[in-house]
Amino acid sequence: MTIPIVPKLLRSHLSDLAERDARIDGRGRWEGRELEVQHSILPRAEGSARVRMGDTIVLAGVKFQIMTPYPDRPNQGGLMCSAEVRPVAGRNWESGPPSPESIELGRVVDRGIRESGCIDVDSLCIIPGEKAWQVILDLFAISDDGNLFDAFALAGITALRNATVPAERFEVGEDYQLSVSKTPIMCSYHRVGGRFVFDATAREELGGDERIHITLGDDNNVHSLQKGLKGIFSADEFTEIMDNAIERTEKLRKIVDEL
Amino acid sequence: MTIPIVPKLLRSHLSDLAERDARIDGRGRWEGRELEVQHSILPRAEGSARVRMGDTIVLAGVKFQIMTPYPDRPNQGGLMCSAEVRPVAGRNWESGPPSPESIELGRVVDRGIRESGCIDVDSLCIIPGEKAWQVILDLFAISDDGNLFDAFALAGITALRNATVPAERFEVGEDYQLSVSKTPIMCSYHRVGGRFVFDATAREELGGDERIHITLGDDNNVHSLQKGLKGIFSADEFTEIMDNAIERTEKLRKIVDEL
Amino acid sequence: MTIPIVPKLLRSHLSDLAERDARIDGRGRWEGRELEVQHSILPRAEGSARVRMGDTIVLAGVKFQIMTPYPDRPNQGGLMCSAEVRPVAGRNWESGPPSPESIELGRVVDRGIRESGCIDVDSLCIIPGEKAWQVILDLFAISDDGNLFDAFALAGITALRNATVPAERFEVGEDYQLSVSKTPIMCSYHRVGGRFVFDATAREELGGDERIHITLGDDNNVHSLQKGLKGIFSADEFTEIMDNAIERTEKLRKIVDEL
Amino acid sequence: MIDENGVRADGRGPGDIRPITIETGVVPVADGSCRMTWGTNEAIVAVYGPMEAHPRKIQRQDRAVLDVAYNMAPFSTTDRMRPGFNRRSREVSKVTQDALESVVLLELYPRSKIRISIEIVSAEAGTRCVGLTAASVALADAGIPMTDLVVSVASGKINDVVVCDLNKEEDNYGEADLPMGIMPNSGELVFLQMDGDLSQDEFKQAWKYNMDAAQEIHKLMVEALNGGDSQ
Amino acid sequence: MIDENGVRADGRGPGDIRPITIETGVVPVADGSCRMTWGTNEAIVAVYGPMEAHPRKIQRQDRAVLDVAYNMAPFSTTDRMRPGFNRRSREVSKVTQDALESVVLLELYPRSKIRISIEIVSAEAGTRCVGLTAASVALADAGIPMTDLVVSVASGKINDVVVCDLNKEEDNYGEADLPMGIMPNSGELVFLQMDGDLSQDEFKQAWKYNMDAAQEIHKLMVEALNGGDSQ
Amino acid sequence: MIDENGVRADGRGPGDIRPITIETGVVPVADGSCRMTWGTNEAIVAVYGPMEAHPRKIQRQDRAVLDVAYNMAPFSTTDRMRPGFNRRSREVSKVTQDALESVVLLELYPRSKIRISIEIVSAEAGTRCVGLTAASVALADAGIPMTDLVVSVASGKINDVVVCDLNKEEDNYGEADLPMGIMPNSGELVFLQMDGDLSQDEFKQAWKYNMDAAQEIHKLMVEALNGGDSQ
C-alpha cells in the first residue's frame, strides 16, 4: 500500500480523470464500492456490526449503562455515540487525544441517528427520576480507505437494530431487544477533480476538496447535514447530491432492514 | 499595531526616556491612562463590568451556583475568581491550558478581593450544611495593552458590587443584591527604564522588569501584595510606591463607589 | 557527578569488566551496595521509611483515607501504591505526567506487596458496605543512582510495617498499628556486559540490557516477576537468578523484620 | 410560539431576523476586529496577521493557514460555562475555519498564519452564525483580501412551521436547525449544517429564508465596514 | 473449577489451551496485519513501516525504533471501557514493545520507525498474550525480518492446581498468573511477568506448561503465515 | 495563642523563629543540594547544571535560564496531597524562580539551563520560604555564582498581634501573612507577597521582624556552606 507523496500530482491526476468522467478505481461517479454488512460479531457487546466498503472496514459496538436521568427529563434515558480512529486504521492516523476529524466523525453520525428519533429515549427509563438506560454506541475503525462517515453510520444503525438490553446482568428484569423504530442512512459526497462523487476512497479524499454528508430518514426527511473542509458549492450542485442521496439511502435502508 | 521585535532596543529607548523622566506615551511617572468603567453590560451574567484603560479592555462577569458547604464550614458559601486571557486579547497570548501568567493574574486579583473581607461568606449560606451560594467571578481580557492586573481588579469589584443573587431562578426565594461591604482597589507598578511607574502599557511591560501589585482596603489597610518577575528592589523604593498607592486607591475607590 | 555521554564506550567498558568478572564500582557480581534502612522519619505520614543503597536514596510514606467499599466487596478496604520519580532525583528524570518508567516502578512494587497478601484487606473494613480504610503507599525518589525498584520495595514494606492507622483523627476509634503479616522482598537483576548482576548502579543500567525483578515471600513463594527492557534470556540464566534471589531475600527480610 | 397569522411571540414574521448591530475596531491591539450583537448574542472577534506561522510544521509553502478559535466566555450562558477544552467549541471552530478558508485569498501569504479569535460573550441562539459572520467582517477590517464576505444565518422549525433565525425561547422548542454560510454576491455556500426533522418541502423553504436573510444582513455588514452606523 | 481427574469446567486437561484461529492481511491498508481469536479473545494487529521516524528526536542513528500501542476497544469488555489514557494499556504496550524489540532486526532500518497497533476488540483472559503473539505474526506478514517469532502464553493456578491458559471464569478465581514470551526455536524468553502465589515447585510446573503450549501455538502461526487454514 | 507577656504557645517571643537545621550534599547524584528543616517543615532541593538547554526554543542567547519546580510530596501533608498539576505549586514555582533569577549571574552561562527541584517532604507553615531559602543554599553548594544568598521568611498576625514565623497552629488562626525574600547583605528584596489584613503600622512591624530574622537565618546558611554544624 502506498499513499502518493505528491498531493499536487494526485490532484491533477484526479482532475484529468474527472474530465473523462472516470474515477481512480474505475467506478462511476455515483457508484459505491462493494459492500458487506454483518451483525452480532462481537461477543462482549450487546449489539455489534462490521461494515466493509472496499478496503474500508469498521466495527460498531453497543454497550449499556445505568444512568440517573437528568432532573429536567426524569423519564428519559440517553444515547451517546463516540467514534475512535486509532493508528491501527491507517498510517496517517496518530495516537493521542481525539483529533478534530474523529470528533467530527462521531458528532455527524450521532446527529443523524439522534435526530431521526429512531431510539425512543422514553422507552429507556427504568424507574422515573432514578434509573434509566444509557445506550453507548462506539464506532471503531479497523482500516481506513476513505469514507469512514458512511461506514460508521451504517455499522452504527445496524448494531443498534441488533442490540439486546442486558436487563438481567443489571438485575432489572429480563433481557429484551432494543427498540429502534427507524433506519436513518447517511450518504457522503466528496468534491474530487472538480465534481462531487459518492463514496470516495482515501486517495480521492487526499486529492479532493469539500465533502457533504446527508442523513435521510425512512420518509426521505432530512435529519442531518454537514459540509466538511474548505470549499464552495452551489445550490444546483447541492440539489443534484440530494436527489442522489434520496435514491441511494432507499437501497441501503432495505439492506439494513432485511438483515 | 506593531510590537517592537528588538526588545534590547526597546529597553534602551525606555532607559533614555526615564533619564528625562518621560514615558513612551507622554504620561507622567505616576499618571494613569484614560479610564472608563461600565457595569451591567452582559445580559447573561448576574453582575458584570467593562473596564477600559487606554487600549486595555477587559470584562468581568459574576455567576452564581449552588454548592454544598464544606463540612468544616457549614455556614459559609464560597467565592471563586478566575482569569482568562485568550488569544483574542493580543498576538502574544496563545491558546491552550492556562498559562502561568493568567494563573497569577487570577490569584492576585482573587486574593485582594478575598482578603479584604468585602464579601461576607456567612451571608451566602442558604441552608446550613446543605446549600450555599458560590459566587464565581470570571475576568476576561478583550484587548491587552498592559496592566491587565489593575483592569481585572477594577472590573471584578465593580461587577461584584452590581451583582444580583439569582434566588428566583434557583427557586430559593427572591432575587436580591449581593452584599459587598468594602471596595478593595489594586494598584500596580512596573520598573521601566530603571524606576517604577504606574499603569504600564504593553510596551513598557515588554521592555521593563519587575512589577509590584498592592491591594488596599477602605482604611488603607494592606490586603494583598505581590512582586512579579525577576528584579531587585529596595525598601525605599517600596515606601515610595506604597505612598502613591494610598493616594491612588482612594481616588479609584470613589469612582467605583459612585457608579 | 558526570554521566558518560558516549553510551557505546560505556557498553564496551562494561563488557571488558565483565570478562574479568569485575564491576565498575569494584563489587562482585552478586554483591549489593551498602544499605541503610530507617523508619518513621516523616512527621506528616502515618508510616514512613528512608532507604539508602549507595547513592540511591528513596522515601516511602503511608497515608490513610476513608473509602466506600466497592459494592462487590463490601467488607474490604483498599491498598494503593504509587511511585513518583521527579526531576529532583537525577538529571535524566523530567517533569510532566508520569513516565512509562515510573508507572512500571509503581506497578511492579505494588504487585509484589499486594500479591504476597501481607495486608489483610478485610481487616481494613470499618463499617461493612459503608466505610473502610484505603492505605496509600507513596514511593518517592530523592537520588537515583540505579535500582530504584529494590529501594522502593524495601522502603515500601518497611513503611507499611511501621504504620499507624489514624483512627482518632478520622473519629472512628483509637489509633492502632497496621497489621502486616508478611515481608515480601524484591530483588532485581540487570544484564550488564553480557551477564546478570545484582543491584545495578545508574551507569550499569545505562550501559546494560534487560532486567528481571523477583518478589519472594516469607516461604520463598514467588509473588511477582517482571522482565523489563529489550533482551533475551535463557531458562538457565533465570534459574541462576532465582537461586540467588532466594538467598538474598532471606537476608533482607531479616533486616526489615528486626527494625 | 407562533399564532394563526404567522406572527411569532416576539412579533416577527416567519422570515424576519432579530435586530443586529455591527461595529469594527473594537479590539485596539488587533489588526482587525468586530463586535456583533444579534438579538442578545454578542460576539467579539479579533484578527491577528498575516504573521509568521510557527511552529514551522504548520507552515504551508504555497499559502497562509488560518487558525480559528471559537470560544464561549464563562459568563456567556445562563449556567456558567466552565473554561477549557470543549468538543462543541472545537467543532464550531473547525467548521468556521473551513468556511473562512473558502473565501480568504490564502495563496497571497505563503508560509504565514492568520489568527481569528471568536469570543461569544453573550449567547442566545445561533452563536455559530454570529461568530462566522462577525469573523468575515473582522477579516475585512484587517484588510485581508477575500473573494466575498460570508453571511451566516439559520432557519428552523417550531410547531411544524418553518421560520427564520430562531430566538432562545423558540430554539428550546425547535424541531430543526439549518445554519448556512452564504457568499452574498454569488449565492454560493461555504458552510452547511442541519439537525432535526425537515421534509423535503420544509427544507426548501428554510433554505429560501436563509438566502433572503443573507442579503439583508449583508447590507448591514457593508455599512459597518464603510464606517456607517449599522443600527 | 477442576474435577478429581484433572478435567476443567470447559473440558480441557490441565495443560490444554483454548481454541485458536489466526488470519493475516485483515487490515488491507496496512503493511502487515493479523487477526487472532483465542477463546473469545479477539485481537487485530496492524503493522506500518518501516517508515520515516518523526519527530526527528525519536530517531536512532543505528537502528529502527518500534512504536507499539496496545489498546482495548470500548466494546471489548463486559463493562464498557472508557477510551483514553490508561495505565494498564501503557504498561502492556511497554512490555510488548520490549519483547518485540528483542527479536526484530532493528539495525537493518536505521532512522526509521515501525508502528505496531494492537487492538483488542473482544477480551476474555490473557489479552496481553494474544496481542504479543498476533503482533509477531503481523510483523512477519509485513515482511519485517526477525530472529524468531514470539509465542506468548500464560499458565496459572486455580483451586491450588496449576493449569495452562486460564479462561475467563478460571481467571476470576485464579491464584496466580505467569505469562511468558517464548522464542519457539531456541526456547529462550523475551517476556516474563508473574503475579500471585506459586511455590517454587508450582512455578516450575507452570513454566513447563507454557513451554509446551508455545510449540503447539507456533505450528498454527506458521500455518497461517504459509497461507494454510489455521483453524 | 499568645499571652499577655507576648509569649507564644510554643514559648517563642513575637520576633522569634522556629528551630532550623541546614545540610548540604544530601542528593549525591546532583550538582548541588540542600536539606533544610524548619519547625516540622522539611525541604530537599537538588540543583542540576548548568547544562544544555533543550528544547532549543527555551534557550537564551545571552544568559542561562532557570527551571524551578516546587512540589509537595504526597505524604507531606496531613491529608494526602494528590500528585500532579496543581495551581498553587505552579505559582510558588514561578515566584521562586523570579526571586532566584534576580540573584544568579545568569549571563555567565549563555544558552544553558540550571534546574532547581524543590521537594517539600514535610509541610508545616511557610513552605515557600523554606523552599526558596534552601534553594539558594543548594545553588551555592553547586558552585553557581550569585550576587547574594536569598533568605526568605514570613511574619504574620494572630489575635491582632504581629509575630514572626507562624507555626502550623498559629497559621490556622493567622490574620495575615507577609513572606519576603531578602538579600541579607544589602537588605534589598527579590520576593514579596502578602495576604490578609494589616494596618500600615502593623505592616511596618512585620517588615522589621522579617529583616531581623533574615540576618539570623543567614548565619546558619553560611555555617552550613562552610561545612560547620548548623544546628
pLDDT higher than threshold 60 for residue F229: no
Chains that touch D (3 or more CB pairs under 8 A): A, B
d(CA F197, CA F201): 11
Q: Which of B107, B221, B227 is facing F191, going by the closest CB pair?
A: B227
B149-180 pLDDT per residue, tens: 999 999 999 999 999 999 999 999 999 999 99
Is residue D198, in this structure, part of any structural domain at all?
A: yes
Cα–Cα distances (Å) from A101 to A92, A93, F186, in that order, read 12, 10, 59
**Are the beta carbons of B108 and B224 closer than 8 angstroms?**
yes
- Interface check for D122 against chain B (CB to CB < 8 A): the answer is yes
The SS3 of residue D17 is coil
Judge B/C contact: 3 or more CB pairs < 8 A.
Answer: no
Residue corresponding to grid cell 517604577:
B196
C42 vs F contacts (CB less than 8 Å)? 42, 75-76, 121-122
State the Cα–Cα distance between residues D109 and D99, nearest whole angstrom. 18
Residue F16 DSSP symbol? P
Q: Report chain A residues whose CB lies below 8 A from the CB of D186.
A: 234
CB F195 within 8 A of CB F188: no
Q: Nearest Cα to F104, choosing from F36, F183, F40?
A: F183
For domain C5-257, say whether CATH 3.30.2350.10 is its number.
no
How many Å apart are CA C83 and CA E119, to the nearest integer? 28
Residues whose CB falls within 8 Å of the CB of residue D40, separated by 6 or more in sequence, listed in order: B43, B44, D122, D124, D168
Angle in degrees, CA C127, C132, C138, rounded to 5:
170
Residue-level pLDDT at F230 = 45
Side chain identity at residue E46, one-letter code: A
Q: Can you tell me the distance from the alpha carbon of D223 to that of C181, in angstroms, rounded to the nearest whole number? A: 83
Position C121, amino acid: V
C-alpha Rg value of chain E to the nearest Å: 18
Please identify every stretch of chain C with a pLDDT value under 50, giving residue numbers as ranges.
Answer: 1-4
> Of F127, F117, F129, F142, nearest to F41 (Cα)?
F127
Measured between CB atoms, does F193 come within 8 Å of chain B?
yes
Chain B: closest CA distance from residue D132 (Å): 15
pLDDT digits (tens, 9 = 90+) for F78-95: 999 999 888 889 889 999
Mean pLDDT of all residues in F4-25 = 95
Taking only the tens place, the pLDDT of each residue in D24-41 is 999 999 999 999 999 999
Q: Are E121 and A59 in contact (CB < 8 Å)?
A: yes
Integer-rounded Cα Rg, in Å, for chain F is: 18
**A vs E contact (3+ beta-carbon pairs below 8 A):** yes
Domain ranges of chain B: 5-257
Report whether pLDDT(B2) > 50: no
Q: Is the dihedral of CA E77, E82, E88, E89 positive or negative?
A: positive
State chain C's mean pLDDT as an integer: 94
Is F29 in contact with C48 (Cβ distance < 8 A)?
A: no
Find the residue in A nearest to E70 (Cα).
Answer: A88
Interface of A with D in 46-65 (CB under 8 A): none
- Cell (9 digits) for A230: 474548505
Q: What are phi and psi of A67, to 5 degrees?
A: -125, 160
Chain A / chain E CB contacts < 8 angstroms: 100
B residues 103..162 contacting F (CB < 8 A): 103-104, 107, 111, 115-117
Integer Rg of chain A from CA: 19
The pLDDT of residue C4 is 46
Stretch 86-115 of chain D: residues touching chain A, C-beta under 8 Å? 87, 90-91, 94-95, 98, 101-103
F221 touches chain B (CB under 8 A): no
User: Omega into A71 within 30° of 0, i.e. cis?
Assistant: no
* DSSP assignment letter at A146: S
Query: Which residues lie closer than 8 Å to C127 by C-beta, 6 or more apart?
Result: none
Chain E residue numbers with beta carbons less than 8 Å from the beta carbon of C226 are 95, 192-194
**What are the Cα distances from residue D229, in Å, to B133, D141, D225?**
42, 15, 9
- Residue D24 touches partner B, C-beta closer than 8 Å: no
D39: nearest CA partner in chain B: B43
B: neighbours with 3+ CB pairs under 8 Å?
Answer: D, F
Q: Nine-digit cell at C24?
A: 565498575
Nearest CB among D29, D121, D122 relative to B90 is that of: D29
- The pTM score is 0.87
Contacting F residues, span 49-78, partner chain B, CB-CB under 8 Å: none
Q: What CA–CA distance (Å, rounded) separates F28 from F32?
A: 8
Put simply, the answer to whether F26 touches C84 (Cβ < 8 Å) is no
CATH of the domain at D192: 3.30.230.70
pLDDT of the residue at A4: 45
Closest approach of chain A CAs to the CA of D94, in angstroms?
8
Judging contacts by C-beta atoms under 8 Å, the chain C residues touching residue F19 are none
Tell me if F80 and C82 make a contact (CB, 8 A cut-off). no
The pLDDT score that the predictor gives to residue B5 is 54
Residues D96-119, mean pLDDT to the nearest whole number: 97
For residue E91, give its domain range.
Answer: 20-224
**Residue at grid coordinates 477510551:** E83
Helix (H, G, I), strand (E, B) or coil at C45: coil
Residue entry with cell 519587575:
B210
F231 domain-assigned: no
Where does D102-196 have alpha helices with state H?
A: 127-141, 168-172
Which residue, A197, A199, A196, A247, is CA-closest to A220?
A: A247
Three-class SS of C112-158 = HHHHCCCECHHHHEEECCCEEEEEEEEEEEEECCCCHHHHHHHHHHH
pLDDT of residue E140: 98
For residue A235, list chain D residues with Cβ-Cβ distance below 8 A: 187-189, 207
Distance from CA of F7 to the nearest CA of C (A): 25
CB-CB neighbours of B150 under 10 Å: 28
User: Which of E192, E169, B107 has the alpha carbon at shortest distance from C213?
Assistant: E192
b/e per residue D96-119 (b: at least 16 CB within 10 A): bbbbbbbbbebeebebbbbbbbbb
Instruction: Classify residue F15: in a domain, yes or no.
Output: no
Nearest CB to D122; choose among B42, B89, B95: B42
The answer to whether B232 contacts F94, with C-beta atoms less than 8 Å apart, is no
**Is the Cβ–Cβ distance between C73 and F86 less than 8 Å?**
no
How many domains is chain D built from? 1
Sequence-separated (6 or more) residues with CB below 8 Å from residue C250? none
Task: Report d(CA F75, CA F123) in Å as an integer.
Answer: 9
User: 3-state DSSP helix/strand/coil percent for chain D, to nearest 5?
Assistant: 30, 35, 35
Q: Chain C closest CA to E23's CA: distance in Å?
A: 27
Q: Helices in A20-147 by DSSP H: which ranges? A: 100-115
Share of chain C above pLDDT 90, in %: 90
Q: For residue E231, name the pLDDT band (cuts at 50, 70, 90).
A: very low
Q: Say which amino acid occupies C254.
A: K
**Neighboring chain B residues of F91 at a CB cutoff of 8 Å:** 100, 103-104, 107
Residue C228 forms contact with E (CB below 8 Å): yes
SS3 A247: helix
Sign of CA dihedral A228, A232, A235, A240: negative
**What whole-number distance in Å separates Cα of residue B134 and Cα of residue B132?**
7
Check: CB of residue D41 under 8 Å from CB of residue D127: yes
CA atoms within 13 A on the CB side of C216: 22
Mean pLDDT computed over every residue of chain E: 95
CB–CB of B105/B148 below 8 Å? yes
pLDDT per residue, tens digit, chain A (259 aa), is: 344 456 788 999 999 999 999 999 999 999 999 999 999 999 999 999 999 999 999 999 999 999 999 999 999 999 999 999 999 999 999 988 888 788 889 999 999 999 999 999 999 999 999 999 999 999 999 999 999 999 999 999 999 999 999 999 999 999 999 999 999 999 999 999 999 999 999 999 999 999 999 999 999 999 999 999 999 999 999 999 999 999 999 999 999 999 8
Secondary structure of residue A127 in the 3-state scheme: strand
Rounded-to-integer distance, Cα A107 and Cα A101, Å: 10
- Which residues of D fall within a CB distance of 8 Å from B65? 79-80
Closest residue, chain A, to D191 (C-alpha) = A227
Of A224, A228, A231, the CB nearest to D194: A224
Inter-chain residue contact C138 with F74, CB threshold 8 Å: yes
C138 contacts on F by Cβ (under 8 Å): 73-75, 80, 83
Dihedral sign, CA of C62, C67, C72, C75?
positive
Collapsing DSSP states into helix, strand and coil, what is residue A107? helix
On whether residue E6 sits in a domain, the answer given is no
Question: pLDDT category, D178, cuts 50, 70, 90?
Answer: very high
**Chain A residues within an 8 Å CB radius of D203:** 222
pLDDT of amino acid F228: 60
Cα torsion E155, E157, E162, E163 to 10°: value is -50
